A and B are shown apart, each in its own frame.
Chain A
Amino acid sequence: MKAIEFADVSFRYEEGGPLAVSHLNLSVEEGEFVAVLGHNGSGKSTLARLSNGLLTPDAGSVRVFGQTVNEKNLFDVRSQVGVVFQNPDNQTVATIVEDDVAFGAENVGLAREEIGKRIDFALRAVGMEEYRHATVARLSGGQKQRIAIAGVLALMPKVVILDESTAMLDPRGRREIVDVVTRLNKERGITVILITHFMEEALLADRAIVMNRGELVMEGAPADIFERREELVTYNLALPHIGIICEKLRAGGMDVAYTLDAAVLAKEIAKCVS
């Protein structure tokens, strides 16, 4: 089943302005983990907002589980497609963790006991059970984002979209978030769309796509995408650090595979040197 399907979608923020998304065709299968890469302004955030009806396309259509997104089914679409945003400070409504996680479930009018169960489930899924009664303001950036994910999970969505949710975090926070979404995908079969500008994060996905000026310009397995490095550079994407090391060693004449896995690279080097 196709979770999300973009059919020739175009969108611009203001009339006469540039197309933020232009004739985009894209489909994401249920249970898939897709990474979306692109430099700032490439249209990747617009993609997230079009997927759950926060924005409506100017042309073309967006379908969620076969249903074309429109005014009437927004409620339904939004409880199926959860979006987590960038700034950890600007997504929580309540002061206490459990109250915030409850917010979405309250909005759709669930019974008290059911909301309680949803909070249990959502906090467990992001590994934050112990923080149920904590004050959101005192959590770290990574923890705040995990709460934001839990807040979305309380609606039992089938798709979770992270719109640059790791951009403002420190390395530890980034790792926390990536771990959580990988687990959601592998263990609970939730479809994940990870929008990021860190290529290292995209490695974990089943499929990566690259956006540039509102268009989908590259698509494929993450490892294959990173192989096409000249192309990546033209889309203003920087190679990950490990890629640069591989390149330099190869330029020096060493025969190491182009890999993005540190352990593999270490083995390769050891083989050449000893």
Chain B
Amino acid sequence: MKDVSFGQFYPVDSFVHRLDPRLKILFLIAYIVAIFLASNFYGLAACAAVLVLIVIFARIPFGKVLRAIRGVTFLVLFTAVLNVLFYSGETVYWEWGIFCISFEGIIFSLFLALRLVLLVVCSSMLTYTTTPVSLTDGVESLLTPLKWIRIPVHEIALIMSIALRFIPILMDETSRIKNAQMARGADFESRGLGKKIKATIPILVPLLLSAFRRADELGDAMDARCYTGGKHRTKYKKLRFTWRDAVAFLLGAALIAGVVVMKIYLPAPY
């Protein structure tokens, strides 16, 4: 049987995997702030070092990390090239019209590219180490204050988690329907937009029907188990901070503090 690995979750047991999802989300936000606060390579180096530590502690193979970067290679290169061409620095190597290549330009675009790479790797570390479900739990818990302004946080989180639960089922179903139609000679490789759209109808119609049927049945099953929305509802699983979370929290705080200190006391490297 095919095992659909949804999202990016990489199933190993590690220190990072066991952290509270809320902390991981907050840490990611803090990390992004740190990256953008960092104004010199010392700051970024500190960020990168922390990230390397995270990767090691999360026991994610290096290849996986590279794969995360590969997805944004184009974006990184594109912005880097633009930056190199348009940054007006002092040590100019080459000039043509509005374009100019300078030492400062190269350094600056390297800096930005590094920032982007760190950002992407750190975000993907969150999805590599956190199951979709605990991610939604974390989001729900963090958004709780919004309940006071009458935003249905519980419902949103439930919808998210049900969607996540059904995605593998629907993906499986899609490939099943696709196989069945391919066995009837359907051609999904033909070129041309019109043809492509037409080719998806034999998949989309059965898929939608199936999704509606499932939604209907799930609705009944939830009703039958006394579901009436978030009111009066209790939660069996409470997210809890542990010593691991405390360590990670301190690490995050130290990182931001370090970056700020470097920003103030160390000169820009260019």
- Direct A–B contact in the complex, CB atoms closer than 8 angstroms: yes
Please, how many angstroms separate the alpha-carbon atoms of A108 and B225 in the complex?
9
Cβ contacts under 8 Å, A79 to chain B: 226
Please, how many angstroms separate the alpha-carbon atoms of A94 and B237 in the complex?
12
The dominant DSSP class at the B interface is helix
Binary CB contact string for chain B from 80 to 94 against chain A (1 if under 8 A, 0 otherwise): 000000000000000
Could you tell me the distance in whole angstroms from the C-beta of A121 to the nearest C-beta in chain B? 14
Partner of A93, one of B214, B222, B228: B222
Binary CB contact string for chain B from 202 to 231 against chain A (1 if under 8 A, 0 otherwise): 000000000001100110111111111000
Q: Among the listed stretches A18-26, A59-67, A109-117, A214-222, which one makes contact with chain B, having 4 or more residues with CB under 8 Å of it?
A: A109-117
A-B pairs with beta carbons under 8 A, tally:
100
Q: Does B191 contact A (CB under 8 A)?
A: no
Could you tell me the distance in whole angstroms from the C-beta of B4 to the nearest C-beta in chain A? 8
Please, how many angstroms separate the alpha-carbon atoms of A54 and B223 in the complex?
7
Please, how many angstroms separate the alpha-carbon atoms of A142 and B232 in the complex?
32
Q: Does B133 contact A (CB under 8 A)?
A: yes
Partner of A95, one of B131, B220, B232, B234: B131
Binary CB contact string for chain B from 131 to 154 against chain A (1 if under 8 A, 0 otherwise): 111000000000000000000000
Instruction: Indicate if the CB atoms of A94 and B161 lie closer than 8 Å.
Output: yes
Instruction: Indicate if the CB atoms of B236 and A105 lie closer than 8 Å.
Output: yes
4 interchain residue pairs of minimum CB distance: A104-B225, A102-B236, A90-B217, A91-B221
29 contacts across the A-B interface (CB closer than 8 A): A54-B220, A54-B223, A78-B226, A79-B226, A85-B217, A89-B169, A91-B217, A93-B158, A93-B165, A93-B221, A94-B161, A95-B131, A95-B132, A95-B133, A95-B161, A95-B165, A96-B133, A99-B237, A102-B236, A104-B227, A105-B236, A107-B232, A108-B232, A110-B234, A112-B234, A112-B238, A115-B236, A136-B165, A155-B225
Residues of A within 8 A of B (CB): 49, 52, 54, 75, 78-79, 82-83, 85-87, 89-96, 98-99, 102-112, 115-116, 119, 136-138, 148, 151-152, 155
